[in-house]
Amino acid sequence: MEVVEKQKLEKNLLAAVRMDRKNDKALKRKRSEVDSDEFDENQENIETPAIKKQRTDHRLLTSSLMLIDRTASDGNGKMALSRSFVSLAMVMEEPEILDGDRTEMSFRACAQADENACAESERRLLTWAIDWTRQVADMEDAISNNDKIALLRACCVPLTLLELGARSCVTAAQSKSSCAALHVLPLPNNTYLRTDAQLPQNCFLTANSIRGLLEWTTRHLKQLQLTPKELVLLKALIVVNTKILERKGKRPLFAP
C-alpha cells in the first residue's frame, strides 16, 4: 500500500471529525438564532454542490465506522474452530477463523476477573482489534494483507487502551463512585480488574499500566466528553495514522 492511500483515508477521517464538530456548532448557532428576535424566517442555508457532496461523504464515512464498531463488538454464537496453528496472515485472509472468539463484548463489571476471564478477555480484545483494523483497512482497495498486519501491530495497543478507557468512563458514570473510576477497569466479559487487589498471574496488563490508564481516563479522556461518532472517528484515526507507521530516521513502512 502506498503512503498516499493511508494519507488520503486519514485526511478524510480528519475532515469528518471537523465536519461533525462544525455541524454541532451550526446547529447550536441556528437554535440561538431561532430564539433571538433578529432571526429572519426567510433566511436559507445555501450550500454549493461540492459542500453538499462533502457532507454526504462524511456522513457515509461516519456511518460505516459506526457499523464497524458495532459489528466488531457483537457476538456470532459460533463454535471455535480447532486449529493447531493460526497466524495473523491467516486471520486477515480468512476472518471466519476467529468466529469462535467473537463473543458479545459486554463491560458490566459484575465480578472480579480470574485467570480464565483474563485469558478470555485478552483473546477477545485482540480479535476486536483485528476486526477493527481489517475492516477500516478494507475501506481502501489498495491495502494488502501484509499492510493490514503492519497496521495492526502499530495500532493494537493504543486502540485497545482507548476502548478500555472509554468503557471505564461508562462504568464509572453508572456506578456514580469516584472509587470505581480510579480502581476498576472493566473487561469485555462482564468482569473487571482492580488496581487495589491482586491481579491474576496471567493478566495481560500490569497494575501500573491499569492505574496509569484509569488516571489518564479520569483526567483527560472523560473531560473530552466525546460523542459516539467522535469516538469511532478517533479509533479509525489511530488505525490509519501514518505517523505511527514511520520508523524514526527511516522511510515509512509502506513506502515502495
Whole-number Å distance between alpha carbons of 8 and 11: 5
Does pLDDT of 127 surpass 90? yes
pLDDT digits (tens, 9 = 90+) for 148-184: 999 999 999 999 999 999 999 988 887 766 555 578 9
**What pLDDT score was predicted for residue 172?**
83
All three cell numbers of 132: 477493527
Cell matching residue 67: 457499523
**Confidence at residue 241, expressed as pLDDT on a 0 to 100 scale:** 73
Question: Collapsing DSSP states into helix, strand and coil, what is residue 215?
Answer: helix
Cell of 239: 488505525
pTM: 0.76
E strand or H helix that includes residue 171? helix 145-175
- Arithmetic mean of pLDDT, 109-118: 95
DSSP 142: T
- Provide the 10 A C-beta neighbour count for residue 111: 12
pLDDT band at 56 (very low <50, low <70, confident <90, very high): confident
On the question of pLDDT at 224 being above 60, the answer is yes
**How large is the average pLDDT for residues 30-59?**
59
Q: What domains can you pick out in the chain, each with its CATH number?
A: 62-246 (1.10.565)
Spatial separation of the C-alpha atoms in residues 183 and 70, rounded to whole Å = 27
Query: Looking at the predicted structure, is the pLDDT value of residue 120 above 70?
Result: yes
- Intra-chain end-to-end CA distance of the chain, in Å: 8
Average pLDDT taken over every residue of the chain: 79
Name beta bridge partners: 189.
Answer: 106
